[in-house]
Amino acid sequence: MSDMELYEGPLNVKEIFGRWLDEEAESNYGAYIPFVGTIREEEGIEALSFDIYEPILRQWFEAWQAKAAERGAKVKMAHSIGDVPVHTSSYISAVFSPRRRVALELIEEFVEDFKANAPIWKYDVIDGKRIYAADRSTPMEGAGILGIGNEERGI
């Protein structure tokens, strides 16, 4: 198991939480902080839906594994692909660390960087139709290099 798990549809949160707990039961970590993201019922959506570009997500995650290891910690994550109905969960990130300070700092950095830079696209599902969540999406780090080129050439 690579510590990064992708599933079609909603996550089995209890299974994942419990398995991760068991996997690290003898690792002597003092702190385990999972972040569980659940689909909120709002603005008439019936589900959210997700596209993922796995090769880049895997690189992003591996960079985070290295960053966590430097601080004596470990990260794991699970995410859904496709439709995830309201009140079910699409996302779990977790940090294991010997001490609480590092765990508390890392879970925040990990979740925020995930939101900003993981190659995942979100859609509202309303009346069975997928609508890209443009207003909630943010350009990735390094975005704009195709646009900048145009400006420089005076187009």
Among 7, 17, 67, 81, binds its own copies (CB under 8 A): 17
Residue 94 near residue 36, CB atoms below 8 Å = no
Q: Tokens standing for 26?
A: 């003898």
Among 6, 52, 81, 111, binds its own copies (CB under 8 A): 111
What is the rounded CA–CA span in Å between residue 5 and residue 125?
A: 23
What is the rounded CA–CA span in Å between residue 19 and residue 96?
A: 13
Which of its own copies, other proteins, none binds 136 (CB below 5-8 Å, type-dependent)?
A: other proteins
* 85, amino acid identity: P
Length of the chain: 155
Q: Tokens standing for 143?
A: 């975005």
133 binds other proteins (CB under 8 A): yes
Cβ-based neighbours of 144, under 8 Å, separated by 6 or more: none
Q: In this chain, which stretch among 62-70, 72-80, 96-104, 122-130 interacts with its own copies, using CB under 8 A?
A: 96-104
Q: Which CB sits closer to its own copies, 19 or 58? A: 19
137 binds its own copies (CB under 8 A): no
Which of other proteins, its own copies, none binds 128 (CB below 5-8 Å, type-dependent)?
A: none
Phi, psi of 26 (to 5 degrees): -110, 10
Q: Which CB sits closer to other proteins, 72 or 149? A: 149
103 binds its own copies (CB under 8 A): yes
Residue 29 near residue 109, CB atoms below 8 Å = no
25 binds its own copies (CB under 8 A): yes
Binding stretches for its own copies (CB under 8 A):
13-14, 17-18, 21, 25-26, 28-42, 87, 98, 100, 103-104, 107-108, 111-112, 115
